[in-house]
Amino acid sequence: MKRIYSLCISLMPLMICSGMVYSIFSLYLFDLGISRTRIGLIYTAGSLSGSVCSPLFGRISDRVGRKPIIILSFAIFCRVELIAASSRKLL
């Protein structure tokens, strides 16, 4: 039970951060002049990639263990968030 609480506590900053980013990211993109259709496609691409990757990473985690997959997921998330934070510079 202690591990479940530890996992929930460690995921809390991730969920708060992603919730804040997803809430304002579309407004930010709209201010940059991106059409609503393209913004919708960006969110759709994110949802589709999650739908495809979740079962794949689930199978991999059954083989190699959940801890390496969680660490890899954190690393990927941090990378994506850094790219999103610097997106103004990229455009």
Contact 40, 27 (CB under 8 A): no
φ, ψ (nearest 5 deg) of residue 32? -80, -5
CA dihedral 70, 74, 79, 80 (to 10 degrees): 90
pTM of the model: 0.55
Does residue 84 surpass a pLDDT of 70? yes
What pLDDT shows up at residue 37? 93
- 1: burial class by Cβ within 10 Å (0-12, 13-18, 19+)? exposed
- Give the pLDDT confidence of 35-82 residue by residue, as tens digits: 999 989 988 998 898 899 889 888 998 999 988 888 888 898 889 888
- Give the pLDDT confidence of 5-39 residue by residue, as tens digits: 887 888 888 788 878 877 888 888 889 899 999 98
* Cβ contacts of 88 within 8 Å, gap of 6 or more: 32
What pLDDT shows up at residue 90? 53
What pLDDT shows up at residue 13? 85
